[in-house]
Amino acid sequence: MTCSAQTAFPTLRTVTISYSELKDKSADLSMKIEEGFGANGLGILSITDVPGFPSLRRNLLRLSPRLAGLPEEVKKELEDPQSRYNFGWSHGKEKLESGKPDLLKGSFYANPLLDKPTTDASMIQRYPSYCGSNIWPDSALPELEVAFKALGKLIFDVGLMVAYHCDQYVSKGLHMLEHQGIEQILLRSRCHKGRLLYYFPAQQSNCTQDGNSTSSWCGWHTDHGSLTGLTCGMFIRDAVEMPCPDSAAGLYIRTRADQVVKVVFGEDEIAYQIGETTEILSRSYLCATPHCVQAPKGEEASGLERSTFAFFMQPDWDESLNFPEEVHIHKELISSSGALTFGEYTEKLLDKYYHLKT
């Protein structure tokens, strides 16, 4: 039984910038920044030829199935309900668009740069999703911490270079003080978070209406941070890496013109997506876009696992966000004064998504 044909949506390649171009602060990359992140862009671009990235990606992503396969009692010890599962292991805690728990993927969250962002007990209680401490499976999977931190640090360093060129582009149309730029905001933040994702094998029996959805592996959402570093997914069956058998599977983006497109980038490239906070702070010179992930379907997809890694670069929890008068993102969360800290903004979003508070 086959439940999918090729994608019915256009397939587009990300705008690419080479690492050598990116690290040159004198280079004018404004055209590529606008093409990728501007009002008519996809909200994503990718960096090519990053030294060391291919091996660091492979080292971490191959650990994802091993993590998901740990005994349930071990994974239970890696859970952190106080942080709303924003540290350690999480499975079935998020909700899909239908409101049902997401049982299709497991996540492991940690801050690759700081094991303990703060010792301030009041901050830990107030912002547990950022101020909590990392939980590593040191005895069960000791390799995870080293691989996670190495890849996260590299994506962060390259992301700061992307942020620098974003600031150069935005400053051409918007007056910014140096400390207000995305690069400086991210440099002084303690809030960065890595997420190792494991997508459980899609079974042939799951070829239902939900299984055929474009967002069958990850529901439609828009990242709320500043900049998200993203690796190309790795597909594995029986511990052997293999290409995806379904050309329709992968990352989909909804453009500003409300068009859905499939977006591709190379496995040796780091993709970066704009988040809502950057759109707010840049006064929409840089634009965030909703996106989702579609699972592979068909007989050949049975038993196929997928691993990927996302690095969320975000402002500090105490960073003040001064919202413009006209906001189209989460208007209901913004106070009448038009100002929230990033921590306050995050907690309000988590309340909205997880329905844990009234």
pLDDT tens, position by position, 146-171: 999 999 999 999 999 999 999 999 99
Strand partners, 46: 16, 271
Say if pTM beats, i.e. exceeds, 0.95: no
Q: Are 244 and 235 in contact (CB under 8 A)?
A: yes
Give, for 225, the enclosing helix (H) or strand (E). none
* pLDDT tens readout for residues 237-258: 888 899 988 888 889 999 988 9
What are φ and ψ of residue 294, in 5° steps? -100, 135
* pLDDT tens readout for residues 326-335: 555 555 555 5
303 φψ region: left (φ > 0), alpha (ψ -120 to 50), beta (else): left
Give, for 55, the enclosing helix (H) or strand (E). helix 53-61
Q: Which two tokens stand for residue 157?
A: 């360093």
Enter the DSSP assignment of 164.
Answer: H
What are φ and ψ of residue 105, in 5° steps? -140, 150
Query: Is the alpha carbon torsion for 267, 270, 275, 280 positive or negative?
Result: negative
pLDDT over threshold 50, residue 206: no
Confidence of residue 53 (pLDDT cuts 50, 70, 90): very high
Choose the weakest-confidence range: 173-182, 270-279, 310-319: 173-182
Confidence of residue 351 (pLDDT cuts 50, 70, 90): low
Instruction: Tell me the average pLDDT of the chain.
Output: 86
Query: Of 196, 230, 192, nearest to 111 (Cα)?
Result: 192
Enter the DSSP assignment of 61.
Answer: H
Q: How many residues does the chain have?
A: 358
**Cβ-proximal residues to 139 (8 Å cutoff; 6+ apart), any chain:** none
Q: Report d(CA 89, CA 137) in Å as an integer.
A: 10
Give counts: helices (H), strands (E), the chain.
11, 17
What is the CB neighbour count within 10 angstroms for residue 162? 26
- Provide the pLDDT for residue 350: 66
- Provide the pLDDT for residue 204: 39
Burial tier of 9 (Cβ tally within 10 Å: 0-12, 13-18, 19+): middle
Hunting for tokens 């004064």 — which residue is that? 337
